[in-house]
Structure 1
Amino acid sequence: MGDGRSVFTLDFGAGRQALAARVSDRDGLEAAVRDLGLTGPRPAVAIVGGANGMTDADMERTSAVVALALLPTFAATRAVVVDGGTDVGVMRLMGRARDTFPLVGVAVEQTVVLPGRSAGPGDPAPLESHHSHFVLVPGTEWGEEAPWLADTATVVAGSAPSATVLINGGPVSADDAAESLRSHRPVLVLAGTGRLADRIQAVRNGARDDDQVAHLAEHPLIHIADVSDPAAVRRQLTALLRPGG
């Protein structure tokens, strides 16, 4: 194609396939999303957060809130969910939890292993095989997908509301959250899931941290809900996805 995109099918085996778009520039992203069948306007939720840095306890708490709060909200709002697409941490949880909602993984192609291909140099990660769609973007390093992930959620939503959910997280997740804020997208931080999410809550409660975390904590589009109260998480996310919310 001459507009910086291509669309193809990924075959993970065991009857699992996903439609993927390879995007080489920003101009091709909107057309690629359309080619993937993700036409809007439709609410979109970007999920950002922990990968290899999550403990077993973090994963257990996150699994519970995904099942009790996030999945019902996705179903009720008919949201498209966007995340980093690899088979680790929060992204693995989202893939394993997925039922019928579209789940779009956005990843730098050179940092992942496509099904049926050998791993290249470096430390590439496999894609999570339960995702329904993937957007593969240019770059060479982890974290370069952050602006693409935010932009994909924006394009998918169109005129519909969108929100970001931050679960656990490290430095890349801080960049992801910052990209959502630059897109004027509210970010719901799930306190109690560990690391960055808990640091943001601590700053809100008066603790000191580095400038990046402090900026996130002080931003008016940052909202915090405690993972121990799934009903409150569901209420807050539903409100953010309500038109005018």
Structure 2
Amino acid sequence: MKRLAHPDADVRARSLGLPRGRPVIALFSSGEPLTTELGAEVLPLLRRVVAGRDAVFITAGADVGVVHLLGVALEAVEGKLPSFVAVAPSGRVVTGEDKPADGEQALNPHHDAAVLVPGKNWGDETPALFRTVDAVTGKRGRVTALLIGGDAIARAQVTAHLSGDRPLVVVAGTGGLADEIARGTLSEDDDLAVLVRSGRVSAVHLDEGPERVVAALDQTLGTKPTPKLTVWPRLRYRAPEPVPIIDPGFVVEYPLLADAIHEANRVVAPAFHEVDETAHRERNHARLFIVLAIAAGAATISFGALQAWLATQAWPGVLVAVSGALAAALVALSRRYEATEDDLSAAHRAEALRTLYFDHLAAPLPVSDAEREARIQDLVNAVARHRHEPVTTS
């Protein structure tokens, strides 16, 4: 634990027991407890976010709300865990076994280090929080922020974060500031509205699942580079991580489409990723059998030349017959994956679902909740139809 002598004191990563240059995720949220329903949805998200991640999380430290759930999530996660640093005003948190007085809160015990800033009000720690971020990341480190809910303190922290041209991932559907940003309801004369519109902000709705939030974090941190194009097919095909149909930052740039994007991501996107993976798997199988058939054909030609050279030997002819039969069998197998109506069905279904996704975004905004519910039901029916009805290629 490090107690700063004054609010502007330097913070060094070594004094916190951390090496420099590690990626940092700053967690911004509200200092109020979450409802049971919201907490039940946020907890799986936090478990997935922290699992196996080599990063440093910097939080407000108080054992309440999202930070409390973060501690609960850590208890259920096995294997490698990230490091956690709390930055809080010394007059608002207590450490160890001391009992909090009125206006105080206990420090979450799952933090590896804590920076206590002289101050009696929440918000006094904000400058020190960003000095801590800079100390851990160093000159070449990567940093992003995760906003879940958020109050006035989080608003000031997000403003300072975006002012430094740092990326932000907003979890919509968690209330507070997160929903204001995702819905585009920030006041036009608010500096935060300008920073959100001009900054690198991604919004993912809580209903879209933890994987979407993790993908957005990985994208902003640059921890998962774009996979290289493969020349040769794979013997064991492994599906890559699903890529969002549209960039999560699109929600922030076009807030009027936020609800439609959320609906399409919740209803259409899972089905699209499923059939798109099937299409890629079929394509990989087709390429694999074609390559093997070409190799077997080349072997047949080589053995034929060997038979002509060794005219008095019988075994080259056996090799020619075996390799020729193998080539014929591989060609027959590869035809199972050729461009027939059945074999292209997955690709056609994927394109149909992609078209359905953008058609939903292009539709006029609903004028009532009843119309919105009717459109969602129509969307569900259309997804089911595209997934299960026969596909025609004519």
Match of 1:241 in 2: 221
Partner AA of 2:214 in structure 1 = R
Match of 1:64 in 2: 44
Partner AA of 1:29 in structure 2 = V
More helix by share: 2
Contact 2:162 2:199 in 1 (8 A): no
Deviation at 1:237, TM superposition (A): 0.3
In the TM superposition, what whole-angstrom CA distance separates every residue of 1:43-74 from its partner, at most 9, and x where no partner exists?
01100102215322222221121123x123xx
Distance 1:217 1:195 in 2: 15
Contact 2:167 2:201 in 1 (8 A): yes
Query: Unmatched 5+ residue regions in structure 1?
Result: 1-19
Report which stretch shifted further, 83-92 or 231-240: 231-240
In the TM superposition, what whole-angstrom CA distance separates every residue of 1:112-137 from its partner, at most 9, and x where no partner exists?
122244545x5111111121211111
- Name the larger-Rg structure: 2
Match of 1:55 in 2: 35
Distance 1:80 1:213 in 2: 25
Residues 1:124 and 2:100 aligned together: no
Deviation at 1:150, TM superposition (A): 2.2
Match of 2:11 in 1: 29
Instruction: Show the 5 A alignment for 1:1-245.
Output: 20-25=1-6, 26-30=8-12, 33-52=13-32, 54-68=34-48, 70-72=49-51, 75-76=52-53, 78-98=54-74, 100-117=81-98, 119=100, 123-158=103-138, 159-203=140-184, 207=185, 209=187, 211=190, 214-229=193-208, 230-242=210-222
Q: Tell me: CA distance 1:27–1:213, structure 2 relative to 1, closer, same or farther (3 Å).
A: closer
Deviation at 1:175, TM superposition (A): 0.8
Partner AA of 1:220 in structure 2 = G
More strand by share: 1
Partner AA of 2:95 in structure 1 = L
Partner AA of 1:86 in structure 2 = A
Normalization by structure 2: what TM-score? 0.51
Contact 2:180 2:186 in 1 (8 A): no
Distance 2:159 2:60 in 1: 15
Identity percentage over the alignment? 29
Contact 2:33 2:64 in 1 (8 A): no
Partner AA of 1:50 in structure 2 = S
SS in 2 for 1:47: strand
Normalization by structure 1: what TM-score? 0.80
Deviation at 1:197, TM superposition (A): 0.5
Higher relative contact order (CA 8 A, sep 6+): 1
In the TM superposition, what whole-angstrom CA distance separates every residue of 1:69-125 from its partner, at most 9, and x where no partner exists?
x123xx24x1011100011001111222235321111100011122244545x5111
- C-alpha RMSD over aligned residues: 2.2
Query: Unmatched 5+ residue regions in structure 2?
Result: 226-394
Count residues in correspondence. Answer: 216
Distance 1:50 1:60 in 2: 16
